[in-house]
């Protein structure tokens, strides 16, 4: 366990060979999916505050700061594993956490990979060519509505039924949805996640108004990996991150959604390994216009 500055215990594990140099938040669902990046290097997978196998928190004061807690908790993990500089691989809303960390603690960031990162500013509305709004969304939301009308009594089964309805949203081709094993409904923190998300995390994200000035000091190389058909985090957000971060390049994954490594593992893992080894992948482009 890692103990944070305010005493919260976070679960972590080290995977791979060699000294750890890469840190991945939310390891409870990413550990197996991102195992290929641990080939030849040590990777620290940890569970964020009130997530996964980390300590469940009852004190609202320890949740109120939302994503800002996650930023400082990442620093606590770095100190715990004894690293002066780390590379960070972060998915979804944790991509925002990693960028905020790079801005607040630039001296401790070697490299940064965002995968399907939530957009920098929650209020931004993207045009149709920079977001994926299709009939899959309507079908998913209708299925969730049916689950909510008559939810299973057992909390674990209720969670699994919800996730079965939700997961087609995260892949470009719904036929590949069964490759996602993110539900982790055996974990109490994950069954209660939506309350934490709506009550603390999302409000803290919505309060942010980020500009290039906020990231002026975050000069570590940043690889932005984003599926063009991401329905959860619009592709336009990936383009915005490539402009906001001073030393960033964008890897666009066509025909992929919120988990691009599921649908294009060859491209995504190849690019990630190349980048973590110290070079830009050839498919990554500079700041989009």
DSSP string computed for 53-73: TSPP---GGGTTTTHHHHHHH
**What pLDDT score was predicted for residue 289?**
57
pLDDT-based confidence at 161, cuts 50/70/90?
Answer: very high
pLDDT, tens digit, 9 for 90 and up, residues 266-278: 999 999 999 999 9
Q: What is the pTM of this model?
A: 0.96
Structure tokens belonging to residue 39: 């080939």
Contact indicator for 234, 257 with CB cutoff of 8 Å: no
Percent of the chain with pLDDT over 70: 100
**Residue 18 exposed, middle or buried by CB count within 10 Å (0-12, 13-18, 19+):** exposed
Instruction: Work out the mean pLDDT of the chain and round it to a whole number.
Output: 96
Which of these CATH numbers, 3.40.50.1820, 3.30.230.10, 1.20.1250.20, 3.30.70.141, describes 2-131+188-276? 3.40.50.1820
For tokens 């309060």, name the residue: 207
pLDDT, tens digit, 9 for 90 and up, residues 81-120: 999 999 999 999 999 999 999 999 999 999 999 999 999 9
For the segment 29-55, the average pLDDT, to the nearest whole number, is 96
**What pLDDT score was predicted for residue 47?**
98
pLDDT-based confidence at 286, cuts 50/70/90?
Answer: confident
Give the residues across from 102 on adjacent strands. Answer: none
Give the residues across from 112 on adjacent strands. Answer: 88, 222
**What pLDDT score was predicted for residue 288?**
73
pLDDT-based confidence at 133, cuts 50/70/90?
Answer: confident
Contact indicator for 233, 118 with CB cutoff of 8 Å: yes
Q: Which residue has the higher pLDDT, 181 or 251?
A: 251
Contact indicator for 257, 246 with CB cutoff of 8 Å: no
**What pLDDT score was predicted for residue 18?**
82
């Amino acid at each position: 366990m890692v103990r944070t500055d305010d005493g919260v215990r976070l679960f972590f594990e080290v995977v791979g060979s060699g000294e750890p140099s890469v840190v991945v938040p939310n390891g409870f669902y990413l550990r197996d999916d991102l195992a290929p990046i641990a080939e030849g290097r040590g990777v620290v997978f940890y569970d964020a505050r009130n997530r996964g196998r980390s300590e469940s928190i009852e004190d609202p004061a320890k949740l109120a700061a939302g994503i800002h807690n996650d930023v400082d908790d990442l620093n606590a993990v770095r100190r715990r594993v004894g690293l002066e500089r780390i590379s960070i691989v972060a998915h979804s809303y944790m991509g925002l956490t990693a960028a905020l960390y790079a801005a607040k603690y630039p001296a401790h960031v070697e490299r940064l990979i965002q995968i399907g990162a939530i957009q920098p500013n929650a209020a931004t509305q993207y045009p149709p060519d920079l977001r994926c709004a299709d009939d899959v969304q309507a079908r998913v939301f209708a299925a969730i509505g049916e689950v909510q009308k008559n939810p299973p009594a057992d909390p674990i089964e209720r969670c699994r039924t919800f996730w079965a309805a939700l997961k087609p949203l995260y892949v470009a081709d719904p036929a590949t949805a069964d490759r996602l094993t993110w539900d982790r409904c055996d974990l109490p923190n994950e069954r209660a996640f939506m309350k934490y998300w709506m009550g603390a995390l999302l409000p803290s994200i919505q309060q942010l108004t980020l500009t290039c000035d906020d990231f002026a000091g975050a000069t570590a190389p940043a690889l932005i990996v984003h599926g063009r058909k991401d329905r959860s985090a619009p592709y336009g957000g990936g383009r915005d991150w490539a402009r906001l971060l001073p030393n960033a390049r964008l890897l666009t994954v066509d025909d992929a959604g919120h988990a691009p490594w599921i649908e294009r593992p060859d491209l995504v893992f190849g690019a990630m390994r190349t980048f973590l080894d110290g070079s830009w992948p050839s498919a990554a482009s500079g700041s989009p216009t």
